[in-house]
Structure 1
Amino acid sequence: MSELRVAVVGCGDISAVHIDAVAAVPDSTVVGVCEPHEGRRAAAEARTGAPGFASLTELLDAVEPDVVHLCTPHHLHADHAVECLTRDVSVLVEKPLAHSLTAGERLAMAAEDSEAVLGVCFQNRYNDTSRKLRELLDTGAVGTPVGGRASVSWHRDAAYYADRDWRGRWATAGGGVLMNQAIHTLDLLQWYLGPVTDVKGIAATLGLSDVIEVEDTAAIQLHHRADGDAEISAEISSVFHATNCDVENAPIVVEIVTDSASIRLDTDLVVRHDDGRVEVTRPEATGTGQRDYWGVSHTALITDFHQHVRARKPFWLDAAVGLETLRIIDAVYEQSPGITR
């Protein structure tokens, strides 16, 4: 296909990032936008110059896109993605894959039956410092991992949840800080240390109980299977903490401990070798402004995804990857006595 025809479905905050990223991809053009809210739909039409539609079915019938970017509320991800995949239209889903594990599994089955390409938007895997750390682990340059930790300490207040009525509700968001804010970091931790084999955790609503149904804080211990070796899985463990009760959006931190180094990834990547050497890798670009926590790698991911769509090749961030984090989060909710979904 000479030109990739792209539609953006859901015209909330994150859609602007997708629209700008598509504009930066050669031979990819936004040919339609979809949003039931008239004001947001009109703004997206003005931004793209493409026609707007109130429903996904109308859009698919009218403009016949090659690929759809889903930027909708979480509870719509699975239904919208399945509708696209049934028509063999490729789909890039914003995180999470779906608002529940059951819905995610249904979406994964639809992807298996479709000729289209499915991708999940875990753009932080495309950060240059994130990829550098993955390279160091793959080559053995920093030794063998024995464990790690990660934390997300952010601030969300009542106004944030009032701005979009789907946020903070089990039926529409599917969860709180784990599902909506910390899922990217949880994905990175298991990407670095290996698939998770055991989850022990608890989630609770500590600071926002009068505002939301879902959790605002969680603590988790994970065991990982490194390199597919089940015999050493118990030796690799990690701890994860996330909260929306901080007074600010503090930098995300991921730390990996190996048998010969300690590694810290926040804004920079710092490797402290046991022999005293210290290596620092600084990102080529960083996010700025109120939403700098979105990072700067959407364009890199979207460019790569569109290349896979053109070639009709499976994308590496697929339904299986999206299900990994959903399974961890679901296990934490199941173990949390105060959680009623």
Structure 2
Amino acid sequence: MMNIKTDKIYNFGIIGAGNVSKIHAKAIAEIGKARLLAVCSTNIDKARALATDFGVDHIYTDYHEMLQRDDLDIVCILTPNGTHAEIGIAAAEAAKHVIIEKPIDISLDKADALINACKDSHVKLGIIFQHRFDESTQFLKDAVEQGNLGKLILGDAHIKWYRSQDYYDSGAWRGTWGMDGGGVLINQGIHTIDLLLHVMGDVESVCGYCSTLGHERIEVEDMATAALRFKNGALGTIIGSTCVHPGLPARLEIHGTKGSAIIEGDQLVRYEVGKEGTGKGKDTASVETGASDPMAIDFKAHKLQIQDMIDAIEEGREPLVTGEEGKKALSLILAIYESAKTGKPVKL
């Protein structure tokens, strides 16, 4: 592994000027070795607005044209889910490092094609699961690895959020299988599902139910439940919704034979192990989580993950959330969809 730190400023391009684009732009603006060089969107008005807000001179409506720039180092792909691999492959072939907002894409075949393209082009691929960089997550991950909670026996991911009908009506691609790839699980729930897998390990089998109960004019689920069996023998549950009013903080519960831990809204609100358990959380900073507003999301964890991409390039290592890691949550979610469709348990 190399460990070469340079004075290089890394030029970033953003493809897609939707809700999350300002979060990425703010994160890039706060990194000393990063500069937002170019913005691309098929909606020229949105591209111009983003560029104006962040002092960017180069605006594109065709990402192929933007990718031809020799001075572009890293691209953040923030487009509808079903376009991620296609654009990411084009970026890799243009020798750009790739950061993709979750999910990696909407099918495992497309995810694999993207992963292979980045390997073939010798560029880095990172999938945005920024909550792995939260202080609460890192504390819990370390505690589990050190055996503080004992043998893991139960893991629960509950995402009881709220999205208005206007949210789904705001884009023709929202709430569709072809472009969104699913509903609450693949869009809102995937972050907490990723954390569940990050802490508990891989899933062996799953049984799921999905329904559309609180919205109109969408093809996908706004309510889902699943029962899990992990490969380590532990059991677990997932609950996801975008029609629980007014929207509650996402909750991750991890239980072992020696203790329990609960992360709620990115804070460790309970950590109790053995005789030394406090019964309360470790002090962590409170951040906005988007439970009822998709724009109410803090950019600080994105900043840490984007900084990690720069560090990975300079140190000659993989980013902390690789394409393979990003694929794990997608695999589980697709298995839940299959189980809900067939009415049968699915093995992963």
Letter in 2 for 1:198: S
1:105 aligns with 2:109: no
User: Which of these residues, 191, 216, 219, is aligned with residue 213 of structure 1?
Assistant: 219
* Residue 137 of structure 1, aligned match among 127, 144, 168: 144
Give the C-alpha shift of residue 122 in structure 1: 0.1
Shift of 1:92: 0.5
1:300 partnered with 2:304: yes
Indicate how the Cα distance of structure 1 residues 295 and 183 shifts in structure 2: closer, same or farther if over 3 A, else same.
Answer: farther
* Structure-1-length-normalised TM-score: 0.91
Question: CA contact under 8 A between 2:192 and 2:252: conserved in structure 1?
Answer: yes
Q: Deviations over 1:229-270 (max 9, x none)?
A: xxxx3x211111111110122011111111111211114321
CA distance in 1, matches of 2:342, 2:243: 17
Q: Which residue of 1 aligns with 2:273?
A: 273
TM score, norm. by length of structure 2: 0.90
Q: Which moved more, 1:259-268 or 1:130-139?
A: 259-268
1:191 is matched with which residue?
198
Aligned to 1:160: 167
Partner of 1:284: 285
**Which structure 1 residue ranges, 4+ long, deviate > 4 Å from structure 2?**
none
Contact between 1:253 and 1:265, CA under 8 Å: does it hold in 2? yes
Change (3 A) 1:153 1:168: same
- Answer yes or no: is the 8 Å Cα contact 2:81–2:105 preserved in 1: yes
CA distance in 2, matches of 1:19, 1:94: 13
Compared CA separation, residues 119 and 95, structure 1 to 2 (3 A): same
Q: Which runs of 5+ in 1 are unaligned?
A: 226-232
CA shift for structure 1 position 100: 2.1
Contact 2:259 2:273 in 1 (8 A): yes
Q: Which residue of 1 aligns with 2:33?
A: 27
- Show CA shifts across 1:1-41 (max 9, x none): 61111111111111101111111111211111101102101
Tell me the CA shift for residue 62 of structure 1: 3.6
Partner of 1:229: none
Cα displacement (A) at 1:337: 2.9
Question: What is residue 228 of structure 1 aligned with on the other side?
Answer: none
**Could you tell me whether the CA contact under 8 Å between 1:286 and 1:295 is conserved in 2?**
no
Q: What does residue 153 of structure 2 align with?
A: 146
Task: Report the Cα distance in structure 2 between the residues aligned to 1:141 and 1:237, rounded to whole angstroms.
Answer: 19
Residue by residue, what CA displacement relative to the aligned partner does 1:162-204 show, whole Å, maximum 9, x if unpaired?
Answer: 1122110111111100111000000000111111121221222
Deviation at 1:222, TM superposition (A): 1.7
Q: For residue 49 of structure 1, report the CA deviation from its aligned partner.
A: 2.4
* Match in the other structure for 2:321: 317
What SS does the aligned partner of 2:36 have? strand
Alignment of 1:1-341 (within 5 A): 2-50=8-56, 51-62=58-69, 64-208=71-215, 210-225=216-231, 233=232, 235-267=233-265, 268-269=267-268, 270-275=270-275, 277-278=277-278, 279-287=280-288, 290=293, 291-293=295-297, 296-337=300-341
How far apart, CA to CA, are the structure 1 residues paired with 2:342 and 2:49? 40
DSSP-derived class of the 1:297 partner: helix
Q: Cα distance, 1:313 vs. partner?
A: 2.3
Over 3 Å counting, the alpha-carbon distance change for 1:62 and 1:112 in structure 2 is: closer
- Percent identity over the alignment is 27
Measured in 2, the distance between the counterparts of 1:207 and 1:25 equals: 40
Shift of 1:294: 5.3
Alignment-derived partner of residue 230 in structure 1: none
**How much does 1:330 deviate?**
1.0
Is the contact made by 2:12 and 2:36 (CA closer than 8 Å) also made in structure 1?
yes
Match of 1:138, as an amino acid?
E
Q: Which residue of 1 aligns with 2:3?
A: none
Q: Which residue identity is paired with 2:41?
A: E
- Deviation per residue, 1:107-151 (Å, 9 max, x gap): 122122121100000001111111110111111222221112120
Q: How many residues align?
A: 330
Question: Hey, what's the Cα distance between the residues in 1 that align with 2:258 and 2:246?
Answer: 34
Instruction: State the shift of 1:72 in Å.
Output: 0.9
